[in-house]
């Protein structure tokens, strides 16, 4: 990609002596403030493919706080594509200014089409796609959350040779694309743990379609009610983690994973001497949107 890509390093997390393991955080959030972490990985080969097909327009889907929408808006503009975001929720059409993610995407030149929640559910059906083909020319379609085979190929590049020393690799899970890439590129003796950010049992099956290795499992206890739901307990955890480690976590994905890891450390889940690598998949652009929800409810905010 033609914009500067920041360096993703493994940063050691300071743990209390009572936890006899080592924990590192791979700072994929450092790649870019808006095309951060896994969204950069997932777009890399898709944008190459779009260029090869001579597409002029990128079309994709997302909700009001979507990291993927922000990433496509910026990366699309940087690479000379027009971008169209199909957004879940008709009511948002008149609320763009009050929404940090949509305001940013618009400033990057993204056009929007706001559709109802029921219509949004149809977005991957042949009828829906045919309708797009009637209305738009020369476009490249990127699925919701950016997950497809090329996205997984990009996510296979998150782990490097130096990461083979780790016994565990942990990541947050939305659509399952990122963990699929990690599973494909990890060694057989490593265990990949995914922390879904939402409820639902479909993920196990979705991920199984993209991988053949079996050395992975999902830890389903830390979704905190789903995507946009932010509990006080999680906000306190984020603020505490920032104070202690000077690393900001995002409330939709990475904070839930890290909360889970700390809970599991406390419960003695990891054998003594384990080396654990957690992936900071980014998503920090979403904090402003979540904070405005918290503010409306008069709840404590995420400080950053």
Binding positions for ligand PLP, rule: CB under 6 A: 37-39, 67-68, 145, 147, 172-178, 250, 253-254, 281-283
Tell me the C-alpha distance between 254 and 214, whole Å. 23
Cβ atoms within 10 A of the Cβ of 241, count?
Answer: 19
Cα–Cα distances (Å) from 224 to 15, 38, 105, in that order, read 24, 21, 27
Q: How far is the CB of 152 from ligand PLP (least distance, A)?
A: 9
In three-state secondary structure terms, 285 is: helix
Judged by CB, which is closer to ligand PLP: 19, or 102?
102
Nearest residue (beta carbon) to ligand PLP: 283
Q: Answer for the pair 169, 190: CB distance below 8 angstroms, yes or no.
A: yes
Q: How far is the CB of 71 from ligand PLP (least distance, A)?
A: 8
Q: What does the angle CA 72 – CA 99 – CA 132 come to, to the nearest 5 degrees?
A: 45
Judged by CB, which is closer to ligand PLP: 56, or 156?
156
Q: Answer for the pair 232, 265: CB distance below 8 angstroms, yes or no.
A: no
Q: How far is the CB of 94 from ligand PLP (least distance, A)?
A: 26
Matching residue, tokens 């009511």: 91
Radius of gyration of the chain (CA): 19
H or E element, residue 279: strand 275-280
Judged by CB, which is closer to ligand PLP: 62, or 140?
62
Judged by CB, which is closer to ligand PLP: 19, or 83?
83
Tell me the C-alpha distance between 239 and 189, whole Å. 34
Judged by CB, which is closer to ligand PLP: 27, or 39?
39
Q: How far is the CB of 134 from ligand PLP (least distance, A)?
A: 29
Q: How far is the CB of 185 from ligand PLP (least distance, A)?
A: 14
Judged by CB, which is closer to ligand PLP: 66, or 77?
66
Judged by CB, which is closer to ligand PLP: 101, or 147?
147
Strand partners, 24: 12, 277
Q: How far is the CB of 130 from ligand PLP (least distance, A)?
A: 26
Judged by CB, which is closer to ligand PLP: 63, or 294?
63
Q: How far is the CB of 174 from ligand PLP (least distance, A)?
A: 3
Q: How far is the CB of 116 from ligand PLP (least distance, A)?
A: 23
Alpha carbons within 13 A on the beta-carbon side of 298: 0
Name the token pair of 170.
């942990």
Q: Can you spell out the DSSP letters for 247-260? A: ----TTTHHHHHHH
């Amino acid at each position: 990609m033609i914009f500067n890509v920041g360096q993703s390093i493994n940063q050691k997390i300071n743990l209390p002596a009572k936890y006899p393991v080592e924990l590192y955080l791979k700072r994929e959030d450092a790649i870019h403030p808006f095309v951060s972490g896994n969204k950069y990985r997932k777009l890399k080969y898709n944008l190459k493919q779009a260029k090869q097909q001579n597409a002029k327009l990128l079309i994709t889907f997302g909700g009001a706080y979507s990291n993927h929408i922000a990433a496509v808006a910026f990366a699309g503009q940087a690479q000379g594509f027009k971008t169209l975001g199909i957004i879940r929720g008709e009511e948002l059409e008149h609320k763009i200014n009050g929404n940090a993610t949509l305001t940013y995407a618009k400033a990057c030149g993204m056009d929007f089409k706001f559709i109802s929640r029921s219509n949004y559910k149809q977005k991957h059906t042949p009828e829906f796609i045919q309708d797009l083909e009637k209305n738009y020319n020369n476009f490249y379609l990127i699925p919701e959350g950016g997950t497809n085979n090329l996205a997984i190929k990009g996510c296979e590049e998150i782990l490097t040779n130096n990461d083979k020393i780790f016994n565990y690799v942990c990541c947050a899970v939305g659509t399952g694309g990122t963990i699929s890439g990690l599973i494909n590129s990890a060694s057989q003796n490593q265990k990949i743990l995914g922390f879904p950010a939402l409820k639902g049992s479909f993920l196990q099956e979705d991920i199984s379609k993209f991988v053949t290795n079996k050395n992975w499992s999902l830890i389903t206890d830390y979704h905190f009610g789903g995507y946009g739901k932010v509990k006080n307990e999680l906000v306190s955890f984020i603020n505490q983690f920032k104070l202690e480690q000077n690393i900001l976590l995002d409330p939709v994905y990475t904070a839930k994973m890290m909360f889970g890891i700390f809970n599991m450390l406390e419960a003695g889940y990891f054998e003594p001497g384990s080396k654990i690598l957690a992936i900071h998949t980014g998503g920090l652009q979403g904090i402003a949107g979540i904070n405005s929800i918290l503010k409306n409810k008069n709840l404590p905010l995420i400080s950053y």
